[in-house]
Structure 1
Amino acid sequence: MNIVVLVKQVPDSGAERTLGADFAVERVSANNVINEMDEYAIEEALKIKEAGGGEVTILTMGPATAAEAIRKALSMGPDKAVHVQDDALHGSCAVGTSRVLAAALGTLNADLIICGAESTDGRVQVMPHMLAERLGIAALTGARKLTVDGSQLTAERQTDEGYEVVTAVTPAVVSVWDTINEPRYPSFKGIMAAKKKPVQTLSLADLGVDASEVGTAGATSQVLEFAARPARSAGQKVTDEGDGGALLVSYLAAEKFV
């Protein structure tokens, strides 16, 4: 099976994140890592390959620094990677990003496309749906379990109430949550092998995508202003002098909790 895993390099969610003057996430000075959910997607692809054979390709769209995430992903075990890199991509919205990724996927002839359910920087959760629509294939989203039987796919789709069982045939897009598996750690052998694995770099011209359709200029949404999260203020202390319960209820009522 030919499997493509979408990987995104994002600022570490455990560190302070900021926006630049153009309202885009500041990545140059940030501690950038692989999007956490994508590691679960990589692991799921490797498990499928180990069970039935095939090839796993990493697909990334991003600046030159995204090569670090590609090598980290390859060190886990995938066979090769494709890096879509073009200065005109800076500031692309989800619609523009899906246009570029769909064009790249169109060159890879994938049976199965796996990605994380969301990215920790954008958190829009729409990319798998957009890609499935553009490619004209099925989307099995939010999977906590995936079973592959030839061309038949069965997923347990995680919901707030439990899970739904959904099915599709390949080709298809599957997005996964962090409940689906436990990603492996790259071995020293895997890290060394990753340095020799092929990485193909593609530009917008290679994909036949016009620069006016992507980037800040081609975005379908725009950030007009933003404000930093306010500092956490001190809580209100209630001293119980026999009326603590009433004071607590009054506070909750004032904050519209009750």
Structure 2
Amino acid sequence: MVLATGGFAAYSSLVDQSHPTLKGIAPVGFRDATRDGLVIARTAGASLLDLDQLEIRPTVSVKGNVPIEEALRARGGILLNKSGKRFTDETGIRDIVSQDILKQSGHAAYLVIDSEIFDADKALQTYVDQGLMKRCGTVAAVAKAIGANSAAVKSTLNRYYRTYDRKFDQDFARYEMRVRLDQGPWYVAAVKPGVLATLGGIRINDRAEVLGSGDTPIPGLYAAGEVTAGVQGGNMMPGNGLTDAVTFGLIAGAKSAAYAGKTGL
């Protein structure tokens, strides 16, 4: 048997239990990732590992719970809090950016991009059409969309312009700033973190065999993908989830077929 059910990101009670600081954070990944594989594995005597390790997506729309393209931060977008101030290196790893957002008022933030970023990706118009991103013709309109003081937002943007010109972020050590962010209109999206995937789960070895107590493989039981633990570590880099699933999926399938042929099951 091969367990490839996904993890438990959509099973909120276990997420809350494993990571209390994320209580109430909505899942945005595989909606059927409801711990089924973990239950089957535990019943068979499997060991579980790192259930407190989750992959959090920093920018999910407050309205509609829709993942907002993460590349927008790398392309030059910034995050502001309700006071209209930056509070993190927007290009940092997901976990750190997410935790910094959760520290802000309302556990949310506002992603701000300018027309140079927006016009380079026609697909972004979908966010506007769905009401997830607001077009703002002036800095004052940006402040209004956030609910912040206009002078505060203007001060933040002016400081960022100077940061871009110096190519040095003395506030948050952001090293990649692709645009100056001064080309209006601007676009603002209210965002919050969401649980994308779980990084903990069933312990396996390099043969995709499910391990029981004492690192002993459970005969005929294999696992692959998000349901497993120990492959990604504490942070899943973009693209590694698919690589993990394909690699160990192939191994698990081959080993399971060989076991079935050998035992006649």
Place the TM-score, normalised by the shorter chain, in its bin: under 0.3
Asked which structure has the greater RCO (Cα within 8 Å, sep 6+), the reply is 2
* TM-score normalised to structure 2 length: 0.21
* TM-score normalised to structure 1 length: 0.22
Q: Larger strand proportion, structure 1 or 2?
A: 1
Q: Larger helix proportion, structure 1 or 2?
A: 2
